[in-house]
Amino acid sequence: MAKSGAGRRSLKNYELTNLFFSLTLIVALGIVVTFVFRYYGNRNMGIAEDGERGIVSEAMHPGSDIAIFNLGTKIYQTSHQYRNPLDIPVTDDGFLKELFAIPGVREVTVDQRSIMIRKDASASWENIRPRLREVVERHLHLHY
């Protein structure tokens, strides 16, 4: 009988050790999960990593009819393409109308963090670029 009692005591020690190990593992996993959610949750909250809210970069080649502005903030949830001013929805806050009002702008595509502009073949980027930047930066400043 003494042997069976000693066996029970040793099992209780293992149970306590397993309980302590399990609780330690749960706390460690909780810390890791908290870190991951905080890191990735705050990373893309509408502002670029360096805090830039305006135009982060632009791709515009003199021989191309397309320019792309990458933004530091999310401006739309989905991608939309507007081939002319008649495609602009009534809910537009004036941003798309201002872009199409720039002489030479033929098509505007907006995505979450980018704006793609297609110009007329006869227009030059040197004439369009300053006005494009002005409209985009003003829109971002007023709304974001």
pLDDT digits 0-9 by tens, 13-58:
778 888 899 999 999 999 998 888 877 765 544 444 445 567 888 8
Give the CATH number of domain 55-143: 3.30.1370.70
47: three-class secondary structure by DSSP: coil
The CA distance from 131 to 103, in Å, is 10
pLDDT digits 0-9 by tens, 78-124:
889 999 999 988 888 888 999 999 999 999 999 988 999 999 999 98
- Ordered by start, the domain boundaries in the chain are 1-43, 55-143
| Residue 2 pLDDT greater than 60, yes or no | no
The CA distances from residue 35 to 27, 29, 39, in Å, are: 12, 10, 6
Ramachandran angles phi, psi of 117, nearest 5°: -115, 130
- Give residue 119's pLDDT: 93
